[in-house]
Amino acid sequence: MKLSELHNGQKGVIVKVMGHGGFRKRIIEMGFVKGKTVEVLLNAPLQDPVKYRIMGYEVSLRRQEAEQIEVVTGEDAARLPDNIVLKGHEDDFLQHQALRERRVIHVALVGNPNCGKTSLFNYASGAHAHVGNYSGVTVDAAEAHASMMGYDFVLTDLPGTYSLSCYSPEELYVRQHLSEKMPDVVINVVDASNLERNLYLTTQLVDMNLRVVCALNMYDEFERRGDSVNLATLSSLFGMPMIPTSFKTGMGVKQLFSAVIQVYEGANKTARHLHINYGHEIEHGIAHIQTYLKADEHIRQHYSTRYLAIKLLEHDSDVLRYVGQHMADEDRPQDRKRLLQARDAAATRVQEETGVDSETAIMDAKYGFINGALRESKYRTGTKKDTYRVTHAIDRIITNRLIGFPIFLLLLFLMFEATFALGDYPAQWIEDAFDWMGQWVTHTMPEGPLKSLIAKGIIGGVGAVMVFLPQILILYTFISFMEDSGYMARAAFIMDKLMHRLGLHGKSFIPMLMGYGCNVPAVMATRTIESRRSRIITMLVLPFMSCQARLPIYITIVGAFFAGQARSLVLISLYVAGLLLMCVVSWVLSHLIMKGEDTPFVMELPPYRFPTTKAIVRHTWEKGKQYLKKMGGVILVASVIVWALSYFPHDYTLSDDDPKQQEQSCMGRMGKAVEPLFRAQGFNWKLDVSLIAGVGAKEIVASTVGVLYAGDSSFADIETFTDDADAPSDGDAPTEGDINSQKLSTLHDLMAADGITPLGAYCYLLFVLIYFPCVATIIAIKNETGSWRWAAIAAIYTTALAWLISAAVYQVGSLF
C-alpha cells in the first residue's frame, strides 16, 4: 500500500520509492529508504501535509509525495492465521514482509517489433503469448509471472515500437505505461543484428531516466555472421548493462535477470543516469523549458522534466496536450504561455543555428551519439551475411513482380484446400462420437424434456459446431506459420499497391488475413496502422473476412445443397464475394465518405526464420483452447436457450419432432413474426431465427440450425441408420462417408420441404457472410475507436447491405 494511505499512529516499513529524478533523490535523502520504519504522527488541519517519524526525527510530506512511497503495515500481521502468534515481534514481521515485498520486481519489456520481446516473455514465464514475425503481434500488454534467484518478477510484454513518440497508438501506449505504471526495471530487447536502428529506442529510454537493462537478442546470429562489439564499453557509454542473449535457446536469460536484480537493488556498477548531449543550442533550450516544468510538483514527481522538455522541442502533440491541460487545471494560464514561449524561442534558435527544425536536430544528435558509441565500442560487422543472403534469395522469388502475386494466391488456395481436405477425417471422428452420444441418450433415457434437452439441445447444438474444430486448428496452423516465418510482412508488401488504390494501407492486409481466423484480434491488430482514417476504414470492412465461426455454417449448407466440384466453387465464391465487398466498400469509404491522405508505407521486412514446431503447435493449441472454451461457454448456453425456445410451450399431444410443435413454440412464433422481413430472400422462419441468434456469435447460427433440424424425425433416422432392422447386409454396409452424405441429403430434404431452394440457401450464406458482426467484434471496434458511433455504423450498414445483396441475388436469380 501507499504511505499516504496510513492513518495517525500507524507504522509501516518502506518497500520502495517511486518517482523520477530530483524528486526521488530528495525523498531518499530525507531518510525514506527501503527497509526503514515510518510512523504517521499527525495530519495538518486541512489533512495535508502529514508529519511522519523516521530514523529518529520528524519530517512532513505532502500526500502527493507520500503516494510515491510503497510500504507494508501491521495490517498484514492481522491477516495471519490464528495459529501464528507474533508475541511482540511485530516489527520483525514487518521487516520480513517488507523484504518479501521488496523481492517482487515489476519489469516492462520494451523493444522494436521482431526483436524477440514476446519470446523472452514466453521463455521466462511459460506464458503462451503469440510470437509473430511482423509488426504489431502484441497489440496489447500481456502480463505473467516468473521466479528466479529468490525474486518474483511481474513481466509486462508491451507492444513493439520503434520509438516513444506519438506517431502510432503503440508508441503512445508504451510511453503511458512507462510513465504511469513506473516499472521497477525496463528490459530493452534489442535485435543485435541491427544495432544502430534498435538503439534509437534505447536513447529515448535514457531520456526518460528509467532503470534499464539491455538484452542484445539473437546474439548467436550476430556472432555467426562474424559481427563483434566490446560490450563492456557499450554498456558504460549507455549507462546500462548489455547482456548477450538468444531466447530461442535460452542463452543469457539467467544473466539477464541477474542484471535486473542488480540494477533494482542498486548494486550494478554499470547502471547510471546519463544525459545524451544534444549540442549547445538544444541543451540551452532544454534547460530553459525545464525551469517551468520543475516548478510544477505534479509533473516533477511523475515525469522526467528533461524528457518532457525534449518532447516539447520535438513538438510532440500528446506531451503538449498533457502539459497544457495540467497547467490549465491548476489555473496557471500564464505559466503555460511562458512555457510555450520558451519552447518556441528554443526551437527558433535551433533552426537558426543548425538549419533544420528542432525535432530533426534531436534525431540527428541521437544517431550521432549511437554512431559514436558504436565506434568507441569497436563495433564491426562480419562478412558472413547468411541470414540476409537467404532472405534476399527468397524475396527475389516471393516478391517478384510477375510471380509474387500468383504465389501468394497459391498459398491461400493451399491453406483453404488443406483446411477442408485434411480436416474432413478428424471431423468425421468427432461427428461419430457425438452421434454415438446422441443415440445412447435416445435409447436409454425416458421420454421427456430432460432427454430432449441433452440429446437435441446440448449434444445436437454443441456437436453441430464442435465437429469443425479440426478445420479451425489447421487454418490457424497455416496462419501461424506465415506469421512466424516472416511471410505475413511480405503479404502486406505485395498487397500495398492494391490496398492503396482502395484507400487503405498495405498494413491493412495483415488484420484482414487475421480476420479469416477471428475478427476480434484482427480489429485489435489495426493498431499497427498509423493513420486513424485507415484504421477506421479497415475495421469497418473487416467483417467481410469470413472468420472461422462462419466455416461450420458454410460447410453444412453447402454440403446439403451442392455436390461434387460445385461445393468447392460455392465455398470459393463466398470468400471471393467477401473480398470484392471489402474492395468496393473500402473504395467508397475512402474516396467518397472519409476523404484524406494516407500515411506513407513504412514497414519492416524482417529476415525469414523457420518457425519451431513447438511455437506453431503452442499457438495453434492456444487457439484451439479458446474455441473449446467457447463451446463450453457461450455456445452451450446459446444452444440450451435455443432448445428451450423451440421446446416450450410444449403440446404433449404432439411429438417433439412434429412441425406443429416447433411452429407453436416461442422460437416458432418469433420466426413467424420476422418471416415477412426475409421473404424477399426466400428464407423460412427457422433460418430467420438462426440469423437472429447469430448476433451473439456466428457459431450459434450453426448450432441453431442443428437444434431446429436435428430434432426432425426423418433427420434423426439417419443417426440410427446402422441399427435399423432393414439396414443393408454386411456386404452393402454404408461407410462413414455414406452416412455423412445421407445426413446432408436428409438435411437438404427437410429444408427443401420448408421451401428452401439451392438459390435460397446460397442467399442465406451470403447473408451470414455480410450481416452484423458478432457482439465481441462490435465491442472491439468500440474499444479501438473509442466511440460507440463507429461500432453502431458497422452493425447497421453491414446488416442493411446483407439484406439488399441477398434479396437482389435471390430476386434476380429467380428470374432464371
DSSP for 574-586, written as a single string: HHHHHHHHHHHHH
- Does residue 246 contact residue 219 with C-beta atoms inside 8 Å? yes
Task: Please give the grid coordinates belonging to residue 757.
Answer: 431452394
Among 85-99, 304-318, 678-692, which stretch is predicted with the lowest mean pLDDT?
85-99
pLDDT category, 86, cuts 50, 70, 90?
very low
- pLDDT tens, 295-318? 877 787 777 889 999 999 998 888
Please report which residue ranges of 169-304 form alpha helices under DSSP H: 169-180, 195-207, 219-224, 231-238, 253-264, 280-294, 297-302
- b or e along 573-611 (b: 16 or more beta carbons within 10 Å of the residue's beta carbon)? ebbebbeebbbebbeebbeeeeeeebeeeebbebbbbeb
Among 55-59, 129-133, 559-563, 771-775, which stretch is predicted with the lowest mean pLDDT?
129-133
Q: For residues 798 and 777, what is the distance between their CA atoms, to the nearest angstrom?
A: 13
pLDDT category, 729, cuts 50, 70, 90?
very low
State the Rg of the chain over Cα: 32
Q: What is the mean pLDDT of residues 571-578?
A: 89
pLDDT at 741: 67
Helix (H) or strand (E) run with residue 155 in it: strand 151-157
Whole-number average pLDDT of the chain: 80
Identify the CA nearest to 31 among candidates 52, 53, 55. Answer: 55
Q: What is the mean pLDDT of residues 42-63?
A: 79
pLDDT at 134: 46
pLDDT category, 65, cuts 50, 70, 90?
confident
pLDDT at 541: 94
Distinct helix (H) and strand (E) counts, the chain = 38, 11
Q: For residues 690 and 707, what is the distance between their CA atoms, to the nearest angstrom?
A: 10
Those residues whose C-beta lies under 8 Å from the C-beta of residue 629, and which sit 6 or more positions away, are: none
pLDDT at 270: 93
Rounded (to 5) percent helix, strand, coil in the chain: 65, 10, 30
Q: For residues 371 and 369, what is the distance between their CA atoms, to the nearest angstrom?
A: 6
pLDDT at 734: 46
| pLDDT higher than threshold 80 for residue 428 | yes
| pLDDT higher than threshold 70 for residue 84 | no
pLDDT at 794: 95
| pLDDT higher than threshold 90 for residue 373 | yes
| pLDDT higher than threshold 90 for residue 581 | yes
Those residues whose C-beta lies under 8 Å from the C-beta of residue 302, and which sit 6 or more positions away, are: 19, 20, 179, 180
- pLDDT tens, 585-631? 999 998 888 876 655 545 666 777 777 777 788 778 777 777 677 66
Q: For residues 509 and 492, what is the distance between their CA atoms, to the nearest angstrom?
A: 6
| pLDDT higher than threshold 80 for residue 254 | yes
pLDDT at 630: 64
CA atoms within 13 A on the CB side of 741: 9
Among 129-133, 500-504, 595-599, 741-745, which stretch is predicted with the lowest mean pLDDT?
129-133
Whether the CA torsion 372, 376, 382, 383 is positive or negative: it is positive
Q: What is the mean pLDDT of residues 722-743?
A: 48
Adjacency order of strands within the sheet including 142-148:
142-148, 151-157, 104-111, 185-191, 212-217, 242-244
Q: CB count, 10 Å around CB of 274?
A: 12
- b or e along 328-347 (b: 16 or more beta carbons within 10 Å of the residue's beta carbon)? eeeebeebbeebbebbeebb
Among 127-141, 499-513, 518-532, which stretch is predicted with the lowest mean pLDDT?
127-141
Those residues whose C-beta lies under 8 Å from the C-beta of residue 490, and which sit 6 or more positions away, are: 395, 398, 399, 605
Task: Please give the grid coordinates belonging to residue 148.
Answer: 528466479
- pLDDT tens, 315-354? 888 888 888 777 765 556 677 788 888 899 989 998 888 8
Question: What is the separation of C-alpha 24 from the centre of its chain, rounded to a whole number of angstroms?
Answer: 35
Those residues whose C-beta lies under 8 Å from the C-beta of residue 297, and which sit 6 or more positions away, are: 62, 64, 65
pLDDT at 464: 67
| pLDDT higher than threshold 50 for residue 582 | yes
Of residues 401 and 311, the one with the higher pLDDT is: 311
Q: What is the mean pLDDT of residues 277-291?
A: 90
Please report which residue ranges of 659-785 form alpha helices under DSSP H: 659-664, 666-674, 685-693, 699-710, 713-719, 736-753, 758-770, 775-785
Q: For residues 339 and 278, what is the distance between their CA atoms, to the nearest angstrom?
A: 20
- 151 to each of 95, 132, 189, 267, 623, how far by Cα in Å? 17, 29, 21, 15, 32
pLDDT at 91: 57
pLDDT category, 386, cuts 50, 70, 90?
low
pLDDT at 127: 66
- Does residue 373 contact residue 294 with C-beta atoms inside 8 Å? no
| pLDDT higher than threshold 60 for residue 714 | no
| pLDDT higher than threshold 60 for residue 795 | yes
- Does residue 800 contact residue 767 with C-beta atoms inside 8 Å? no
pLDDT category, 677, cuts 50, 70, 90?
very high
pLDDT at 712: 47
- 760 to each of 647, 751, 798, how far by Cα in Å? 26, 10, 19
Of residues 398 and 629, the one with the higher pLDDT is: 398
- pLDDT tens, 96-147? 666 666 688 999 999 988 788 888 888 888 765 555 544 455 456 788 888 8
Among 288-292, 546-550, 694-698, which stretch is predicted with the lowest mean pLDDT?
694-698
Paired with 155 in beta bridges are 107, 144
Q: What is the mean pLDDT of residues 508-534?
A: 77
- Does residue 256 contact residue 213 with C-beta atoms inside 8 Å? yes
| pLDDT higher than threshold 90 for residue 242 | yes
Percent of all residues in the chain with a pLDDT value above 70, rounded to a whole number: 84
| pLDDT higher than threshold 50 for residue 82 | no
pLDDT at 66: 81
Helix (H) or strand (E) run with residue 143 in it: strand 142-148
Those residues whose C-beta lies under 8 Å from the C-beta of residue 390, and which sit 6 or more positions away, are: 607, 608
Among 448-457, 654-663, 709-718, 767-776, which stretch is predicted with the lowest mean pLDDT?
709-718
Task: Please give the grid coordinates belonging to residue 616.
Answer: 506453431
Q: For residues 123 and 248, what is the distance between their CA atoms, to the nearest angstrom?
A: 8
Specify the DSSP class assigned to residue 268: -
Three-state DSSP class for 355? coil
- pLDDT tens, 199-238? 999 999 999 989 999 999 989 888 888 889 999 999 999 9
Q: CB count, 10 Å around CB of 749?
A: 14
Q: What is the mean pLDDT of residues 638-662?
A: 76
- 536 to each of 181, 449, 592, 787, 789, how far by Cα in Å? 29, 48, 15, 11, 11
pLDDT at 173: 84
Q: What is the mean pLDDT of residues 144-161?
A: 88
